[in-house]
Structure 1
Amino acid sequence: MADHALKFEIESKTVAEFRALDKSGELILRPEYQRKIVWPDRAKVSLMETILLGYPIPEIYLSYETTPDGEQTASVVDGQQRLTALLEFIKNKYTLDGLEAGSLREKFEGKYFKDLPDEVRQEFFQYRFPIRRLSNLADEFVRAVFARVNRVNMVLTEQELRNALLPGPFSDFLKDCATHSISRVSGVFSGERRNRGGDLEFFAEVFGTCIFGLSNKKAELNERYDKISADFEDYRDRSEEFVRLLDFLSGTVKWAGRTRWSNIVDMFTLLHVSWNLRSLLFEASTEQATQLRDVLDLFQRAVSSHKRSGEKSDAEELISTLAETLDLPTESIKDTIEEYTSGIRNSSDLGSRRIRSNKLQVVFSRNFD
Structure 2
Amino acid sequence: MSKLGDFVLGHSKSIIVISVLVAVFLAIGMTKVESAFDIEKTMGRKIPYVNNLLEICETELGSLYSYDVLIEFKDNDEAKKPENLKKLEEASAFVESLELTKRTTSILDIIKDLSQTLNENNDAYYAIPDNENQVAQMLLLYENAGGTESEYWIDYDYKRLRLMVELKSYNSGTAEKELAQVTTEVQNLFPNASITSVGSIPQFTTMMQYVVDGQLQSFALALIIIAILLMVVFGSARIGLIGLIPNIAPALAVGGVMGWLGIPLDMMTATIIPMILGLAVDDTIHFINHGHLEFSRSSNYKDAINKSFRVVGVALVLSTITISANFLVYTTSVALSFVNLGMLAIVGMVLLCLPIYL
Query: Same-fold call, TM > 0.5?
Result: no
Larger radius of gyration: 2
More helix, by proportion: 2
